[in-house]
Amino acid sequence: MVAEIRHLGATARLRRWVALGLMLIWVMLLSACSLDQFKSQAAQVPRLVETSLSDPKTFNFITNDESSSTAILGLMYEGLLTTNGITGELEPGLAESWEISADQKRIVYTLREGLKWSDGEPLTVDDVVFTYNQLIFNEKIPTSTADIFRIGEAGTFPTVQKVDDRRVEFIAPEPFAPLLRFAGGTMMPKHALESYINAADAEGNSLFLSAWGTDTDPKKIICNGPYRLQNYQPGERVVLERNPYYWRKDEQGNQQPYIEQFIYQIVASDDLSLTQFRAGGVDVEAITPDYFALVKREEERGDFTIYNGGPALSSQFLTFNLNQGKRNGKPLVDPIKSRWFNSLEFRQAIAHAIDRPTMINNIYKGLGLPQHSPIYMQSPYYFPPEKGLPTYDYDVAKAKELLLSVGFQYNAANQLTDADGNLVRFTVITNAGNKIREAMGTQIKQDLAAIGIQVDFQPIAFNTLVGKTSDGLDWEALILGFSGAGVEPDGGRNVWSPNGRLHMFNQSPNPGQPPLEGRQVADWENEIGRLYIQGGQELDDEKRKAIYAEAQKLAQAYVPLVFLVNPLALSAVRNRILGVEYAALGGALWNIHELKLSDR
């Protein structure tokens, strides 16, 4: 199989082109049945169209934890501060200014005058206080946002209180370097959500947990960003319309954003998304490496530009479920497999057995780099291999040596068994429709077969995967990625804190979920979590770098996440979109309020 991938013959290439051509024709027909009918109803409305591989899971910003909703909610909500998509610098948002005390413990934000929610109601300091004190800091509401606000060893939340009608202050119990960036985050409307907080369902859970689900009337979902929800048709599209109460105006006093509609077309796979882009029905498309050469040849004819932002601020990894806990006496993971997964040498062997160079050449077509760290290489806190970061070069002999050193054996059929004679076999899942991850899973299955391990690879629906990793906790291994943390390392603390909402390799149960018995946290897990806390406490930048260097070295030494490839950030953008300032950090549309559409 590996040889066939490396040396794709003429017949295979022909079959691939025929299949792609047939898919293109099919999607063009599909577009005629779906998008064209929609377009005819609003032919003169300036709009952008992107795609999503899955339906949104919620329209509640606070409880959302998955990417298909995040992109949509990012257009609907805005915080006290915004981030420049090119430089990463903080800029005024809902707050026009801010002041930081000399001891770095107190920040006072001053809101702009006349702010409003998308229903026309005033947006005030009371909304800011409500968002933090009653939502984010509410122990009964599961939100990964809370994790990054737990300050110090005690995990204490900052105090948030009203100063006057336009000023709100955040007071930390100790110096906390990321407070300015994090406290500038998204606001939620008190007038629309307060009634959910104290009300509970039959099991005692706050009704806020089910507030603003995908079945909610769009008119009842109140936001403050450049767009608001107009319509959602499951399995088809999410339609956002310009928020008439958005605060931004240009120098001439014209309301922003200029583009009236933003549409997320829901598709089943990356292939369908690409074919819709090539058919003209999509305006912005992330370009996967396998189709880069094809799409590049079509730039002039298709009147678009492919932007290369360099290494993307994202990670791709393989991870094992290290959770040794039980629910109602039943182990989350088969105890035999759990012993394998919790063996350090086993994880290190897996890391050595994965052929990243082939993965980059065959799957990424050379458009990627090996990834070795939980902190993105664009961050000033990245600790590179040349300074001592442990790495795992492709080395089958080393992988086998590690396995044999801890009692694994090979039988007469060259299959790997443990010391008790159990065949080493497990299931790896990923989100279906993501062709890159599906290809990575196929290669990993082949790579691990070379060291005698049988992998059952199963792509599943993304929302099903999210449910297994956040609620069920009963998976074995998975291929996934993280994005959105930016260049501030503390943004990844909810991954590395042992009780963080994204500590998926040894996840604690969410509020409202059945408890676990016997969950164990390793010393190295606690130490990485402690280092992330210490990094947030330290204000001296060079000392922060040293702290995060230690965290990165530990993460690589114990490999709970087997990092794979850091792809290049590539996007094709229609030339009719004016004002694009592309970068890996912000993407193509980070300055959506400034973008315009030409008449062509």
Do residues 117 and 222 touch, judged by C-beta distance below 8 A? yes
Does pLDDT of 490 surpass 60?
Answer: yes
Do 241 and 178 share a domain, yes or no?
no
Residue 73 lies in a domain: no
Residue 544 lies in a domain: yes
Structure tokens at 544: 């922060």
The model's pLDDT over 136-151, given as tens digits with 9 standing for 90+, comes to: 999 888 888 888 898 8
Does pLDDT of 534 surpass 80?
Answer: yes
User: What pLDDT is attached to residue 68?
Assistant: 66
Contacts of 244-252 with C-beta under 8 Å, sequence gap 24+, read 244/118, 245/116, 245/117, 245/118, 245/119, 245/120, 246/118, 246/593, 247/94, 247/112, 247/114, 247/115, 247/116, 248/593
Do 360 and 473 share a domain, yes or no?
yes
Among the residue ranges 8-12, 230-234, 526-530, 580-584, the one predicted with the least confidence is 8-12
Do residues 353 and 343 touch, judged by C-beta distance below 8 A? no
Do 488 and 373 share a domain, yes or no?
yes
The model's pLDDT over 197-237, given as tens digits with 9 standing for 90+, comes to: 888 887 777 889 889 999 999 999 999 999 999 999 999 99
How many residues in the chain? 600
For 231, other C-beta atoms within 10 Å of its C-beta total 13
Torsion of CA 84, 85, 87, 92, to 10 degrees: 0
Q: How far is 353 from 340, CA to CA, in rounded Å?
A: 15
CATH number at residue 355: 3.10.105.10
Supply the DSSP string of 35-69, one letter for each residue.
HHHHHHHTTTS-EEEEEESS--S-S-TTT--SHHH
Indicate the pLDDT class of residue 3, thresholds 50, 70 and 90.
Answer: very low
Indicate the pLDDT class of residue 600, thresholds 50, 70 and 90.
Answer: low
User: What pLDDT is attached to residue 10?
Assistant: 33
The model's pLDDT over 543-554, given as tens digits with 9 standing for 90+, comes to: 999 999 999 999
Query: Mean pLDDT for the chain?
Result: 89
Structure tokens at 389: 């970061």
Q: Which carries the bigger pLDDT value, residue 499 or residue 127?
A: 127
Residue 257: cis peptide before it, omega within 30 degrees of 0: yes
Average pLDDT for 252-269: 95
Residue 28 DSSP SS3:
helix
CATH number at residue 135: 3.90.76.10
Do 149 and 184 share a domain, yes or no?
yes
Q: How many domains does the chain contain in total?
A: 3
Do residues 544 and 47 touch, judged by C-beta distance below 8 A? no
For 122, other C-beta atoms within 10 Å of its C-beta total 13
Do 287 and 324 share a domain, yes or no?
no
Amino acid at 171: I
Average pLDDT for 82-87: 89
Do 372 and 325 share a domain, yes or no?
yes
Q: How far is 79 from 44, CA to CA, in rounded Å?
A: 31
The model's pLDDT over 338-382, given as tens digits with 9 standing for 90+, comes to: 999 999 999 999 999 999 999 999 999 999 999 999 999 888 899
Residue 424 DSSP SS3:
coil
User: What pLDDT is attached to residue 377?
Assistant: 86
List for the chain the helix, strand, coil content (%; round to 5). 35, 20, 40
Residue 382 lies in a domain: yes
Portion of the chain with pLDDT greater than 70, in percent: 92
Q: How far is 193 from 188, CA to CA, in rounded Å?
A: 8
Do 234 and 109 share a domain, yes or no?
no
Residue 425 lies in a domain: no
CATH number at residue 20: 3.40.190.10
CA 13 vs CA 4, 20, 74: distances in Å: 11, 11, 39
Does pLDDT of 42 surpass 50?
Answer: no
Structure tokens at 98: 């801010």
Number of helices and strands in the chain (H, E): 20, 25
Residue at a domain's end among 165, 194, 223: 194
In sequence order, what are the residues at sequence separation of 6 or more whose Cβ sits closer than 8 angstroms to the Cβ of residue 338? Answer: 321, 322, 323, 324, 331
Residue at a domain's end among 160, 194, 228: 194
Do 149 and 29 share a domain, yes or no?
no
Do 434 and 393 share a domain, yes or no?
yes
Q: How far apart are the first and last CA of the chain?
A: 47
Q: How far is 503 from 321, CA to CA, in rounded Å?
A: 10
Do 23 and 163 share a domain, yes or no?
no
User: What pLDDT is attached to residue 484?
Assistant: 64
Residue 145 DSSP SS3:
helix
Closest CA to 456 of 430, 492, 480: 430
Do 495 and 551 share a domain, yes or no?
yes
Does pLDDT of 6 surpass 80?
Answer: no
Does pLDDT of 33 surpass 50?
Answer: no
Query: Could you give the residue ranges of the DSSP H alpha helices within 279-395?
Result: 289-296, 299-302, 335-341, 344-353, 356-358
In sequence order, what are the residues at sequence separation of 6 or more whose Cβ sits closer than 8 angstroms to the Cβ of residue 313? Answer: 376, 378, 483, 484, 485, 486, 487, 569, 584, 585
Residue 202 lies in a domain: no
Query: What residues form DSSP beta bridges with 479?
Result: 318
Domain that holds residue 118: 81-194
CA dihedral (567, 47, 31, 59) positive or negative: positive
* b/e 500-523 (16+ beta carbons within 10 angstroms → b): bbbbbbbbbbbeeeeebeebebbe
Portion of the chain with pLDDT greater than 90, in percent: 70
Q: Which carries the bigger pLDDT value, residue 1 or residue 493?
A: 493
pTM for this predicted structure:
0.74
CA 214 vs CA 162, 210, 238, 373, 465: distances in Å: 33, 10, 10, 36, 18
Amino acid at 238: V
Does pLDDT of 592 surpass 70?
Answer: yes
Average pLDDT for 290-300: 93
Which of the listed ranges 1-15, 151-165, 257-271, 331-345 does the model predict with the highest average pLDDT? 331-345
DSSP one-letter code for 234:
T
Q: What are phi and psi of 323, to 5 degrees?
A: -70, 120
Do 321 and 395 share a domain, yes or no?
yes
User: What pLDDT is attached to residue 485?
Assistant: 66
Supply the DSSP string of 290-307, one letter for each residue.
HHHHHHHTTHHHHTEEEE
Residue 542 lies in a domain: yes
